[in-house]
Chains A and B, each alone.
Chain A
Amino acid sequence: MINVKDLHKSFGDLHILKGINETIEKGEKVVIVGPSGSGKSTFLRCLNLLETPTSGDIFFEGTNITKASTKEVNLLRQKMGMVFQHFNLFPHLTIKKNITLAPVKLGLMTKEEADATADRLLKKVGLADKAEQYPPQLSGGQKQRIAIARSLAMNPDVMLFDEPTSALDPEMVGEVLNLMKELADDGMTMVVVTHEMGFAREVASRVLSMDDGYIVEQNTPKEFFANPDSPRLREFLSKVL
């Protein structure tokens, strides 16, 4: 589904990604872990071109998206949902409008269809009673669940999660992770950057470890946590587990 070939990304003199090769299959739940500054968020943001790669190719469903036109990029982004660390809900719109804005503006649904979709998704994330409220009225965990619902409204083929629980108070992490687990059980293809090792262990089909711009290790979660190969990863895991 996603095929990354020799991906490099630099910000000025700062070389963040130093050649990533990776294939993500349909239905996989890939969790990316690693220390801060290892390039995991940048890698994720390259997948839907929020960051433009310096060099390398990314194929999504057969199309080389690094060579795509702006129009094609917008179409591909409809198929790739993204959930941000800081939610990025639209504060001037009601919760329901947050969810229906994109499908309606992009002509994918009529307003009635979008409203019905929003109602269904709000029920799914357990926030049906918040439809007419505004984002600033919600707790962090609720905001993130709405952000997930907003992405789901586009019927994406894959969901990208960029540290979805890092900005949450500890007692709200669970509700978001549970929703993500549900998504995983529904068969959604997911790429998740996170520090939640419990989630990685339980949900991931594969865990990638990034360090200094490279993917240094990957394995099934069981092997990954039980027998880490590299000393760097062992050190990292001893700090976070």
Chain B
Amino acid sequence: MTDRAQTDASKPLSRNRVMAGSSLAVAVVVGALLIARLAGVIPAPQEMSALGAIVTCVLGAASVVGFSAWYFARTDEHDLHANLWAMAWSWIASGVGTSCWVVLHAAGLAPVPDAVAILLGSSVVALATWVWLRFR
């Protein structure tokens, strides 16, 4: 092994690479869970036992909160800035979306408001805002 290779191997990863790598790892885990659900390895929520549902919720919430706290404490300020604006616009989008949907439903112009659809829509707003601020 050359000196250069040894130096590169022993050099600690930069913060940027750690953050990108950890985000990719989370995306892989989420993707694997989705594929497992689609393949029927993981039961649908309505097929879960009460204990299974509680354990899933506790593990899911702890994972999301734990990873978010870890990520935001370590990422650089430019990424943190992009994340904060992404969450702000996501929150505004979910508030506006829910309000409009409820009013339109009450007027008979829309189906019953769907919480999952609102969550997905606000997530798309968050992702678009983050990508725009991070990579423009």
Answer whether A and B are interacting partners.
no
- List A residues at the B interface (Cβ < 8 Å): none
- List B residues at the A interface (Cβ < 8 Å): none
